[in-house]
């Protein structure tokens, strides 16, 4: 691990200011992904700004009838919150489908949104990777791509966003709240928070350097049956090959977002009108623009079948 | 700090003098271009470990795991993968289990840490330690301290109503069933494959059937 200096910020704007003024600085939340990457020297920050003292660890009701989840709320605390289990079950389900108990006790809400891809070529510093080292090339294209993206990818990058929590937040229409060094705040809809790789795969999201996530807000509950179905190579503690976060109403209408298939949680709102007519029609619309590799083409029928299983499960 | 005694071995002594020699000859040849050798920054961190107050002065790169093992000489907590994948380093911080390898010691100012050494002693085993012995919940024993810290926390998490992937109804109180314990223990890998005996040991402590 490269040497770095460490400090604890006292307010969100203070934290944003310190990081914004230092290109080598990074925020430190739980650290469960960042420290892993620092040990491998994939991330080499020169200064860490610990955000644990910013009092961002509460879940509070909003005036709009929703919930405001502090950026530092742990995955365990969020999944366990009674309001979340009752009104936003898909979020609790997605969180407990990811990582291990130890990691969920430490991982934060903001950190989970910011976790980086698990593409094996991003992790192997001997390989070219446009995300890790812009302009070096992509070893995943034409390489071992079984776990990688089938849609929304580019000629520069076929990495996937690895998380589960954000897939549920996408189907819940969450909003990411941030603050910048000058104290200005921003509300970013979750659908435009994670970016597509395009020709700048080094970017994972819409944040500027030094912009700090302070909270994620959920709108008023929409009712319905909440399901998170994750398909993976082992039954627990593995990343998704494909996952489906769905909220289905009694009349068969609903919403669904897919994990494990793209550089961001994948949701096509226009395809949701097809949900009452079944998984095949909806999935065909969701994956119309897919560009899978030979290794990962299986993910598309797998996504269709996972959605079919979800719809069968919620049928009254 | 009696437990923080630092002894330089003959090998480390030779290594450090060789480094010094190499640096100084490099510096003399490129006197103008050479940047000054930066001192590694250190930070003071105070925490309670197994009930005892400890104050350490550490390079911020030091993980909680390395602070426990290398600075406090509490070698019960094991380093397996050092990347949060195996669970051998599991310790309990402020009542919650975490991977000590994926946490910097400086993040734990003021925290209360419990390691396997703090759960029980050879004379007075923690009930989970006794159950692991009774049910043969290990072979080589390397993952065992992490398994036991995790197992103790899992039963506590079930009592506190923390949900899991194995739960059918998110609003119902979880129960210490075999399926629950297997799911909740998935962050602890056992190369010897003692899993079924570990679940038996946990069920014994929980007063349930695996």
Sheet containing strand A225-231, strands side by side: A225-231, A242-248, A254-259
Alpha-carbon gap, residue A204 to A270, rounded angstroms: 24
Q: What percent of chain A has pLDDT over 90?
A: 99
Domain count, chain B: 2
Per-residue pLDDT of A109-156, as tens digits, reads 999 999 999 999 999 999 999 999 999 999 999 999 999 999 999 999
Residue with tokens 């961002």: A56
Mean pLDDT of A51-79: 98
Nearest CA in chain B to A85: B170
Q: Which residues of chain B have pLDDT under 70?
A: 1-36, 208-210
Say if residue B113 is in the same domain as residue B125: no
Q: Within its chain, how far is the Cα of A186 from the centroid?
A: 19
| Three-state DSSP class for residue B208 | coil
The candidate with the shortest Cα–Cα distance to B102, out of B75, B128, B86, B82, is B82
Q: Is the pLDDT of residue A40 over 60?
A: yes
**Do B157 and A101 make contact, defined as CB atoms within 8 angstroms?**
yes
Which of B119, B140, B166 terminates a domain? The answer is: B119
Domain containing B59: what range? 41-119
Any idea what DSSP says for residue B38? P
pLDDT of residue A32: 98
Q: Which chain A residues are within 8 Å of B38, Cβ to Cβ?
A: 3
pLDDT of residue B20: 44
Please indicate, yes or no, if residue B61 is contained in any of the structural domains. Answer: yes
Q: Is the pLDDT of residue A43 over 50?
A: yes
The candidate with the shortest Cα–Cα distance to A222, out of A173, A176, A261, is A173
Say if residue B200 is in the same domain as residue B178: yes
Burial class (CB in 10 A: 0-12, 13-18, 19+), A295: middle
pLDDT of residue B32: 57
A-contacting residues in B 127-186 (Cβ below 8 Å): 150, 153-154, 157, 160-165, 167, 170-171, 182-186
* DSSP line for A59-70: EEE-TTSSEEEE
pLDDT of residue B208: 67
**Do B163 and A79 make contact, defined as CB atoms within 8 angstroms?**
yes
**Do A52 and B107 make contact, defined as CB atoms within 8 angstroms?**
yes
Please indicate, yes or no, if residue B31 is contained in any of the structural domains. Answer: no
Q: Within its chain, how far is the Cα of B13 from the centroid?
A: 29
Nearest 10 degrees: Cα torsion B108, A31, A13, A79: -100
Nearest CA in chain B to A102: B98
Nearest CA in chain A to B150: A102
B146, B89 Cβ separation under 8 angstroms = yes
Query: A99 and chain B: CB distance < 8 Å anywhere?
Result: yes
pLDDT of residue B10: 40
Strand partners, A216: A69, A176
Per-residue pLDDT of A204-248, as tens digits, reads 999 999 999 999 999 999 999 999 999 999 999 999 999 999 999
What CATH number is attached to the domain comprising B125? Answer: 1.10.150.120
Nearest to A50 among B102, B107, B153 (CB): B107
Angle at B6 between CA B5 and CA B10, to 5 degrees: 140
Say if residue B125 is in the same domain as residue B105: no
């Amino acid at each position: 691990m490269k040497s770095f200096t460490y400090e604890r910020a006292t307010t969100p704007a203070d934290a944003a200011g310190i990081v914004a003024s230092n290109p080598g600085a990074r925020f430190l939340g739980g650290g469960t992904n960042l420290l892993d990457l620092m040990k491998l020297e994939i991330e080499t920050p020169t200064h860490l700004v610990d955000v644990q003292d910013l009092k961002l660890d509460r879940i509070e009701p909003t005036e709009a009838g929703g919930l405001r989840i502090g950026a530092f709320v742990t995955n365990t605390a969020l999944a366990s919150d009674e309001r979340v289990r009752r009104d936003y079950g898909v979020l609790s389900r997605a969180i407990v489908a990811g990582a291990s108990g130890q990691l969920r006790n430490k991982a934060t809400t903001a950190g989970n949104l910011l976790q980086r891809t698990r593409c094996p070529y991003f992790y192997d510093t001997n390989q070219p990777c446009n995300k890790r080292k812009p302009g070096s090339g992509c070893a995943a294209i034409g390489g071992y791509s079984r776990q990688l993206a089938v849609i929304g990818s580019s000629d520069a990058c076929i990495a996937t966003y690895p998380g589960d929590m954000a897939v549920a937040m996408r189907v819940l229409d969450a909003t990411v709240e941030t603050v910048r060094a000058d104290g200005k705040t921003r509300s970013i809809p979750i659908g435009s928070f994670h970016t597509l790789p395009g020709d700048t795969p080094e970017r994972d999201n819409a944040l500027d350097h030094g912009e700090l996530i302070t909270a994620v807000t959920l709108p008023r509950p929409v009712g319905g049956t909440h399901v998170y179905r994750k398909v993976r190579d082992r039954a627990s503690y593995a990343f998704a090959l494909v996952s489906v976060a769905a909220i289905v109403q009694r009349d068969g209408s609903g919403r669904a977002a897919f994990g494990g298939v793209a550089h961001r949680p994948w949701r096509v709102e226009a395809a949701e009108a097809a949900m009452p007519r079944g998984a095949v029609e909806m999935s065909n619309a969701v994956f119309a623009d897919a560009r899978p590799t030979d290794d990962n083409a299986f993910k598309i029928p797998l996504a269709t079948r996972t959605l079919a299983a979800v719809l069968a499960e919620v049928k009254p | 700090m009696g437990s923080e005694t630092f002894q330089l071995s003959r090998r480390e002594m030779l290594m450090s003098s060789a480094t010094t020699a190499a640096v100084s000859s490099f510096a003399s040849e490129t006197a103008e271009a050479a940047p000054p050798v930066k001192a590694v920054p250190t930070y003071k961190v105070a925490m309670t470990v197994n009930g005892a107050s400890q104050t350490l002065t550490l390079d911020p790169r030091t993980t909680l795991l390395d602070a426990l093992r290398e600075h406090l000489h509490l070698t019960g907590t094991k380093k397996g993968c050092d990347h949060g994948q195996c669970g051998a380093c599991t310790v309990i911080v402020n009542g919650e289990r975490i991977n000590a390898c994926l946490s910097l010691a400086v993040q734990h100012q003021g925290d209360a840490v419990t390691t396997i050494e703090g759960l029980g002693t050879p004379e007075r085993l923690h009930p989970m330690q006794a159950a692991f012995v009774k049910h043969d919940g290990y072979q080589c024993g390397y993952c065992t301290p992490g398994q036991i810290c995790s197992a103790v926390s899992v039963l506590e998490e079930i009592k506190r109503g923390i949900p899991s992937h194995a739960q059918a109804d998110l609003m119902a109180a979880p129960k210490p069933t075999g399926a629950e314990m297997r799911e909740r223990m998935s962050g602890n890998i056992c190369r010897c494959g003692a899993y079924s005996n570990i679940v038996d040991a946990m069920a014994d402590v929980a007063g349930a059937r695996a």
